[in-house]
Amino acid sequence: MLILSVESSCDETAVAITRDGREILSDKVASQVEMHALYGGVVPEIASRRHAEAIEGLYREAIREAGIQPCEIDAIAATFAPGLIGALLVGLNFAKGLAFSLGKPLIPVHHHRGHVAANYLVHPELEPPFCALVASGGHTLILGVDGYTSCRVLGCTRDDSAGEAFDKVARVMGLGYPGGVEIDRIAEGCDETAYKLPRARVSGSPHDMSFSGLKTAMINIVHNAEQKGEELRLGDLAASFRRAVVDEIVPRVIDCAECEGYKTVVLAGGVAANARLRETITDAASKHGLKLYLPPKKLCGDAAAMIGAQGYYEFLAGNVGDMSQNAYASLAADYTALPER
Ligand code: KG4
Ligand code: ZN
């Protein structure tokens, strides 16, 4: 089954063609990062406009690169939640138009389920059940994935997402946007014990996370140094921060897997590209006898192939939309019914 998929939930416009949820024929992404970097973060209005400008060209490129004709497409999948509402609507409406004109089914796909499904494209043997970490710019959560289209939220951040903390801290450190990659880069080989940073605990919810106290501690360190005219060791500071984020995440993911009896752990989302996170969870999983699947770095961030992969399984489960399909800025990955319009 050939699926054309569309992703436009944040600042990447993407169109892909995938086969049977497991094979990428083409995966085109137009990033808007350079434009948003001018403002230090994503400007929703600019994101929507850029999606509208880029999407048709990406569609043509995706078709050409896959070497197929539009009539060969069996279904159209698109991210419908969560994300920036104006941005989501551009991709979803494009997908609706295409589905209508080609007379093919429309498959609405949840962005977090898509991030998890990126792993199906590179790990042919991977199938549910497993425990997944989804760590992106907008969300950080631990999912119990019991079937391709059924999951439970086992833990989540109570405030900022891990990616948001990386981006905000990077901005204060003068490292530009998006900051996760930069912090990861300058932290390499530096002393991660150099700066003492807090580790949060959400009382009564051992699998929930919190990153805002850590972010504030980092902002205070930078501002205090500025006020006193002291030089910061940026590499060591980045390494200490990266370590603190990893310490917040990894034990909880391992504990969720063990408590719920999962034998397999899967990483997903932009932050899953983080070198220290990958290293630490690899060690922890092996110590606890858990099988671990990591997506390659290029499949961690937002792209459309992951939406096609999940779309295939949503289609098999009968989760098909129609021309009244709406987009939603917030919706948990374990939704069973859609919110009121
Ligand atoms: O999943 P994603 O591409 O988009 C959303 O769905 O939000 O995640 C983007 C986030 C950004 O916050 C970015 O800074 C972070 O992923 N990120 C990283 C790394 N690469 C991207 N964070 C830490 N280390 C990295 N290497
Ligand atoms: Zn994402």
- Tens of pLDDT, residue by residue over 232-265, are 999 999 999 999 999 999 999 999 999 999 999 9
What gap in Å lies between CA 27 and CA 239, rounded to an integer?
33
* pLDDT attached to residue 337: 82
Instruction: Report the pLDDT value the prediction gives residue 339, as an integer from 0 to 100.
Output: 73
* Predicted structure pTM score: 0.97
pLDDT given for residue 218 in this prediction: 98
Q: Does the CB atom of residue 274 touch ligand 1 within 6 A?
A: yes
Tokens of 97: 């138009």
The number of the ligand nearest the C-alpha atom of 304 reads 2
**12 C-alpha to center of ligand 1: Å?**
12
Distance 196 CA to ligand 2 centre (A): 30
Residue nearest to atom 13 of ligand 1 (CA): 180
Other C-beta atoms lying within 10 Å of the C-beta of residue 38? 9
Torsion on CA atoms 284, 289, 290, 294, rounded to nearest 10? 50
What does the pLDDT average to over 23-41?
A: 92
Q: Which residues place a Cβ less than 5 A from the ion ligand 2?
A: 136, 302
192-216, pLDDT tens digit by residue?
999 999 999 999 999 999 999 999 9
State the chain's mean pLDDT as an integer: 97
Residue 41: per-residue pLDDT = 86
Predicted pLDDT of residue 176: 84
CB 246 within 8 A of CB 140: no
Q: Does the CB atom of residue 295 touch ligand 1 within 6 A?
A: no
Q: Whose CA is nearest to atom 3 of ligand 1?
A: 301
Length, in residues, of the chain? 341
Per-residue confidence (pLDDT) for residue 118, from 0 to 100: 98
Which ligand 1 atom lies nearest to the CA of residue 185?
A: 26
Q: pLDDT band at 178, cuts 50/70/90?
A: confident
- Nearest-angstrom CA–CA distance, 227 and 111: 42
Q: Name the closest ligand to CA 84.
A: 1
pLDDT of residue 80: 98
Looking at 173-233, list the stretches that DSSP marks H as alpha helix, in order from N- to C-terminal side.
179-187, 212-228
Distance CA 324, CA 199 (A): 45
Predicted confidence at residue 341, as pLDDT, reads 60
Do the Cβ atoms of 145 and 130 come closer than 8 Å?
Answer: yes
Q: For residue 82, how far is its CA from the centre of ligand 2 (angstroms)?
A: 9
Atom of ligand 1 nearest to the CA of 301: 3
The residues, ordered by sequence, that sit 6+ positions from 21 with a Cβ below 8 Å of its Cβ are 3, 117, 120, 121, 308, 309, 310, 311, 312, 313
Instruction: Tell me what percent of the residues of the chain surpass a pLDDT of 90.
Output: 94
Res. 177 pLDDT band, cuts 50 70 90: confident
What's the CA angle centered on 302, arms 27 and 105, to 5 degrees?
Answer: 60
Answer whether 178 contacts ligand 1 (Cβ < 6 A).
Answer: yes
Q: Is 31 exposed, middle or buried (0-12, 13-18, 19+ CB in 10 A)?
A: middle
pLDDT in tens, 77-100: 999 999 999 999 999 999 999 999
pLDDT digits (tens, 9 = 90+) for 310-340: 999 999 999 999 999 999 999 999 998 877 6
